[in-house]
Structure 1
Amino acid sequence: METVAKVNGRPVSRNELDSTMQVYAQQMHHKNTDQLSVDQFQEVYDMALEKLIARALIFQAALAAGIVASEARVEEEKNQLIAQFSDENEFFAKLEKAGMSPEFYHRMVREDLTVNLMTAEKMKELPEPQATEIEEIYKRYPQKMVDPEKVHARHILVAAQSDERETALERIGRIKQEATAAEFERLAREHSDCPSAQAGGDLGYFARGQMVDSFEDAAFTQEPGQVGEIVETPYGFHLILVLDKTPERRLSLEEAETRLRNFLKEEAGVKLLKNWVDELRTHADVEIFS
């Protein structure tokens, strides 16, 4: 297996780098790595490699501190992922296609869990934010201290591939003929292709920016209690029943306190971990080969 770097002699493999790059490519650019521009590819490459070097440094610090994820916890984590496949054979076939042996994957899971344990231990060093800090942030960013407008809705989805579009449109049209507010939950359970069908199509409350544009535009303009017109999205065709709407409102300091406390701890945690990893790196032997 090709090695792209070594951290105190511990190899960082090409497979690890490729997998991490795919994650960053999707998060940052909503593309696969082979769809990135030259500049985007270099940016994602650099970030992924730095992440893996930091991960190796933290894992080694964990071992030095006697912190290691238990085999039981590793097996639990693996089994949770395997459960997402039809069977174990499909899972291991996917690993093999990605160039990973079961042993390599087991080691990766153990290292990830150990890094998480060590990071959590390091974060215990953070002091709790002071009340004065929380109040200062609350006053500094009044535009962010709001609970946004939200919609509570149910929907029925008829999934459609491009070659099935007309069939799907006919099907959603037939459902619409029966779709009253009173019958909507039953129809969603019987006909919707969305996992939310089990809950009668209930999507709960959501704010703008959480759904695709066409779905969101329809949901936020519909009146509660009415089944809207058919809406097309990349997922297929939808019927939407808006159950409730809540307007945007300003949060009190008490309501915003938990959010602000978490924000301050997260911000301080990022700085703490960066400084710690930088310190670890000054005492480490890091070799980069490509």
Structure 2
Amino acid sequence: MKYELRRMIVPMLAAFFLAAAPVGAQDAKVKPAQKAEKAPDKIMPADKPEKVPDVVAKVNGKKITGKEYQKAYAELLGPMMGQSKGALPPDHKEKFKSAVVERLIIAELLIQKAEQSKVPVKSSDVDAELENIKKRMGSPENYKKALETNGIKENELKGKIRQSLLIKALIDRDIASKVTVTSQEAKTYYDSHPDEFKVPERVRARHIIVLVPDKSAAKAKEEAMAKIKEAQKQINKGEDFAEVAKKFSQDGAAQKGGDLGYFTQGQMVPEFEKVAFSLKPGKVSSIVETKFGYHLIKVEDHQKPTTQGFPDVEKRLIENLKSQKTQK
């Protein structure tokens, strides 16, 4: 959960400019009136930014601190490590360090421009986004822990949210509002990327699971089997599957009546998947054994593979293409 909190800030400037873009992306251009000074590259190590100066850059007198650099470095490093399968190529390390600083500079320039332009951001919008973050954290305890883990106080978080909303408003006003995508452009994209609009076969199912830990003794397995059989008996008598799941099931879906939502092939263990995709909607399986334990499965819906029609995706596709143009 170390960086989860920062990823939730919509659409955080860090997410917009510090996302996993290629390290060799085009350098930012800074106008003469918007002075940005970088600290020497030699003091920024390639693998871990452990020893950095207190100030890594100045933008019109505003300092970008070493701490901010370290956080941005770590945030960007994760996706880059994934792309390079475990390690950054040596020739990318110097570019990577520079890219982090440059993106922080771009971020600060945009914040300053938004402030100078008096782009409106309501306190109520900041508060609403903060509440969204709290809800997504799941509980007050998780939220508090995330603040502590990220080394940030709530007032600082609200400041980051405000900056994010400032940037979004500025981009919407000065860039996004001037970007257009026609229906024909969207249709051309749709026709040339058919795989993106294919929806695979999927099933929505509920289940009841009685857990059987690995290497369980024979007696424990017998007790688990007896419990799943009792659940099966109640269902066969006509009791609602969801209510029986709440009483008997032993996983996180129990309180949702065992609802697992929709899933496609390959998402569940083979024994479970085989049964789920063979059942007709409304039917309940016999007892299924997997490495997790004993299950009863009820299929609620079974959707065959299909392709989304252009009218169904046109509006969303136009917005996505506008977003891509805006970021360019």
TM over 0.5: yes
Tell whether the 8 Å contact from 2:55 to 2:64 is kept in structure 1 after alignment.
yes
Does residue 87 of structure 2 align to residue 37 of structure 1? yes
Does residue 314 of structure 2 align to residue 226 of structure 1? no
1:274 equivalent in structure 2:
none
Q: Give the aligned residue type for 1:124.
A: S
Post-superposition offset of 1:123: 1.4
> What is the distance in 2 between the residues matched to 1:238 and 1:206?
17
1:104-253 to structure 2, matched below 5 A, reads 104-121=156-173, 122-127=175-180, 129-156=181-208, 173-177=225-229, 178-179=231-232, 180=235, 183-192=240-249, 196-208=253-265, 211=267, 217-218=273-274, 221-224=277-280, 225-227=283-285, 229-232=288-291, 240-253=297-310
Corresponding residue pairs, total: 263
Post-superposition offset of 1:65: 1.7
> What is the distance in 2 between the residues matched to 1:192 and 1:44?
49
Structure 2 gaps of 5+ residues are 1-52
Change (3 A) 1:200 1:104: same
Post-superposition offset of 1:93: 6.4
Tell whether the 8 Å contact from 1:15 to 1:100 is kept in structure 2 after alignment.
no
1:280 equivalent in structure 2:
none
CA offsets, 1:121-163, max 9 Å, x none?
A: 3312211x22322332233233434332121112346789989
For the residue of structure 2 that corresponds to 1:124, the secondary structure is: helix
Post-superposition offset of 1:66: 0.7
Q: Which has the larger radius of gyration?
A: 2
Change (3 A) 1:140 1:51: same
* Higher RCO (C-alpha under 8 Å, 6+ residues apart): 1
Q: Give the aligned residue type for 1:260.
A: L
Q: Give the aligned residue type for 2:279.
A: E
Q: Give the aligned residue type for 1:153.
A: A
Q: Give the aligned residue type for 2:108.
A: A
For the residue of structure 2 that corresponds to 1:203, the secondary structure is: strand
Post-superposition offset of 1:267: 2.5
Q: Give the aligned residue type for 1:254.
A: P
> What is the distance in 2 between the residues matched to 1:100 and 1:149?
44
> What is the distance in 1 between the residues matched to 2:309 and 2:189?
13
Higher helix share: 1
Post-superposition offset of 1:172: 6.0
1:266 equivalent in structure 2:
323
Q: Give the aligned residue type for 1:37.
A: A
* RMSD, aligned CA: 4.5
Change (3 A) 1:70 1:136: closer
Tell whether the 8 Å contact from 2:179 to 2:326 is kept in structure 1 after alignment.
yes
Q: Give the aligned residue type for 1:107.
A: G
Query: Normalization by structure 2: what TM-score?
Result: 0.60
Determine what percentage of the aligned residue pairs are the same residue.
Answer: 23
> What is the distance in 2 between the residues matched to 1:207 and 1:171?
32
Structure 1 gaps of 5+ residues are 272-290
CA offsets, 1:205-244, max 9 Å, x none?
A: 34457x46659845764423233624447xx986543322
Tell whether the 8 Å contact from 1:189 to 1:199 is kept in structure 2 after alignment.
yes
Q: Tell me which of 113, 116, 129 is aligned to 1:64.
A: 116
Change (3 A) 1:94 1:65: same
For the residue of structure 2 that corresponds to 1:244, the secondary structure is: strand
